Amino acid sequence: MAKRKLLKIQDRKALFDIPTDEDSLMRHYSLSPADRLEIEVRRREHNRLGFAVQLCLMRYPGRALMANEILPEAMLNYIAEQIGADPASFDLYARREETRMNHVARLLRYLEMRAATTEDRRAALLAAIEAATVTDKGATIATAIITTFRERRVLLPAANMIERMGLAARAIARRQAEAALITDLDPETLGTLDGLLAVDPAIGQTRYHWLRSAPEAPGAGNLVGLTERIAFLRMLGIDPRLQTRVPSGRWDQMIREGDATPAWLASDFNASRRRATIVAQIIKLGQKLTDDAVMMFIKLMGRLFSQVNNRKKQRHMSARLETSKALRLFLDTIVALQAANDMDADPMTILDRRVGWHRLLQVKPGLEAMVENS
């Protein structure tokens, strides 16, 4: 099994590597007059350079020189130039462990720093746990540890130690969030949650998968499917206010992990993580499916209204056409009667010839319907 890591390669470099760009060298490794006086007390060149390097490293990133450590050339040259030393002389200093340890002890007093104690490590761990309650990002958690040590003017432990502390803090934050969600649930409810991961013969799949595969396309049948799922969720009796017990950042992380976890994988989680994941999904789904059902209902009502409105428009257009025909026939009738009057002819004969009595009889039912509807 691969060893679990807190930091990505680029994160480790950003947090622990010695900077080499000019701006960072000037900001972190420029020696003050007091520094130079302290350095000049050392008589030999390699000791002066080694002492200066130790001083700079203990200031930033905040650690002592490691055994057989190879320093970046840019950093070594920058420090050596300030004290007039040959960078090559550092090789001799690097081989003298006793001298290095003596210099560390002296620099701790000079810089008013100290080695980390149990209390310091505890404070750093608490800071990491606090950071882990809002994010799973290793760089943020490790930064909280480093910042705490620096604020307490304590030498940083090894990078691997900081990473192990961060992993422990993240695990603790996760367990705290899990406990907040499931501590008050009775055994029967916990058993019901576990049962969601078993295949239900009635639907041929796990209820966990069924709940998360709700239909999305607007339709009467799909709306029924949503309401069935909402009713099932309410039957489980999980209080959605449990979400307020978990910090928002940690909650979002639990939701992301749950969204990516199929039922078969959730079954392999330990009991606490498994049940907390299911509870978080139930709360999220209760909110999401309710919103989806409301939106689907609105869309269906809009579609129905549109259909009714279209039918109404169609009827209106048909009525207008019939009205237009009736008015045209009425106009033709008036014209025929006027012609009969002008010619002093029989009106019925002219009317039948020009309009057609049978046409007038055909439109009579339609005219009666128009009068009644108006």
The residue ranges of every structural domain in the chain are 9-110, 118-182, 187-307, 309-373
Task: Average the pLDDT over 314-324 and give the result.
Answer: 68
Closest to 272 measured CA to CA, from 169, 166, 165, 185:
185
Task: Average the pLDDT over 184-201 and give the result.
Answer: 94
Residue 327's pLDDT is what?
A: 67
Has residue 142 got a pLDDT over 50? yes
147 vs 145: CA distance, rounded Å: 6
Task: Average the pLDDT over 188-212 and give the result.
Answer: 94
pLDDT band at 363, cuts 50/70/90? low
Has residue 136 got a pLDDT over 60? yes
When the pLDDT of each residue in the chain is averaged and rounded to a whole number, the result is 88
Residue 328's pLDDT is what?
A: 74
CB atoms within 10 A of CB 100: 22
192 vs 187: CA distance, rounded Å: 9
Task: Average the pLDDT over 74-79 and give the result.
Answer: 96
pLDDT band at 299, cuts 50/70/90? confident
CA distances from 105 to 52, 157, 159 (A): 14, 16, 21
Task: Average the pLDDT over 156-165 and give the result.
Answer: 95
Has residue 239 got a pLDDT over 80? yes
User: What would the pLDDT profile of 3-18 be if each residue is shown by its tens digit?
Assistant: 678 999 999 999 999 9
Has residue 1 got a pLDDT over 50? no
Task: Average the pLDDT over 282-294 and give the result.
Answer: 92
CB atoms within 10 A of CB 54: 22
**pLDDT higher at 333 or 79:** 79
Query: Model-level pTM?
Result: 0.73
Share of the chain above pLDDT 90, in %: 66
Task: Average the pLDDT over 187-206 and give the result.
Answer: 94
Has residue 152 got a pLDDT over 80? yes
pLDDT band at 368, cuts 50/70/90? low
Task: Average the pLDDT over 71-95 and give the result.
Answer: 92
243 vs 254: CA distance, rounded Å: 11
Task: Average the pLDDT over 314-339 and give the result.
Answer: 69
